[in-house]
Structure 1
Amino acid sequence: MARQRQYDMDYKIQSIKLSNEIGLTKAARELGISPSTLNGWIKASKEGRINLGFGTQTPSSAMSLAQELEMLRKQVKDQNKQIQRLKEENTFLEEASAFFAASRLKSTRTKD
């Protein structure tokens, strides 16, 4: 099984900028990375998960307000799901802790 290579954020940003200048396929070939990897980074930058810095968005590459609103709503929905899951886990852990504390107290009483 091939080991997945890790790239730092600066490398990704420079790769995206290069692909904007010379094209995705040519940039991927020059960098020695898969075009699908580079395309994933480009998509992430369009979704706002990779910040290319000031002055890099053009009207054609920027998200529309509707797209941005949709993305933000999805993020809020995902975060709410995660919050609910964490609350449930905390409740379970509190109950388990109380159970074990009670059983420990019970076992020390029977030893005396």
Structure 2
Amino acid sequence: MGKAKQYDKGFKIQAVKLTQEIGSTRTAKELGIPVNTLYGWMRAYKEGRLECGVRTPGNAMTLSEEVAMLRKKVKQQEKEIRRLNELNDFLEEASTFFAASR
């Protein structure tokens, strides 16, 4: 079996842009790449995994999902910070109590 050919990100982005202009079959033929490879890059672009600098409604949805995920993460971190602050307060009180009992 041959080694899979690696393409750099810039090439992939240019291929996706060209596909949007002239279509996937023609782009694949002109660039000499398998059309299935190009379909994978197009899917990655639509899912937001391949950034081309252009926002589409598909990307906007991906961004809104990312915002929702980040908000959830911030909420979890705020909860963890509250828990750690409470634990820190408890430990300060305990150390004060034990220091006073000496």
Aligned to 1:25: 25
Quick one: which of 61, 65, 71 aligns to 1:65? Answer: 61
Give the 4+ runs in structure 1 shifted more than 6 A: none
Supply the AA of the counterpart residue of 2:32: G
Q: How far did residue 2 of structure 1 move?
A: 1.6
Task: Flag the structure with higher helix content.
Answer: 2
Within 5 A, what are the aligned runs for 1:74-93? none
Alignment partners' CA distance in 2, 1:39 and 1:46: 10
TM-score by length of 2: 0.57
Aligned to 1:48: 48
Supply the AA of the counterpart residue of 2:65: L
Larger Rg: 2
Aligned to 1:14: 14
Alignment partners' CA distance in 1, 2:37 and 2:7: 11
State the Cα deviation string for residues 65-103 of structure 1 (Å, max 9, x = none). Answer: 389639x86xxxxxxxxxxxxxxxxxxxxxxxxxxxxxx
Aligned residues: CA RMSD: 2.3
Alignment partners' CA distance in 2, 1:21 and 1:36: 18
Give SS of 1:27's match. Answer: helix
Structure 1 alignment gaps of length 5 or more: 74-112
Q: How far did residue 3 of structure 1 move?
A: 1.2
TM-score by length of 1: 0.53
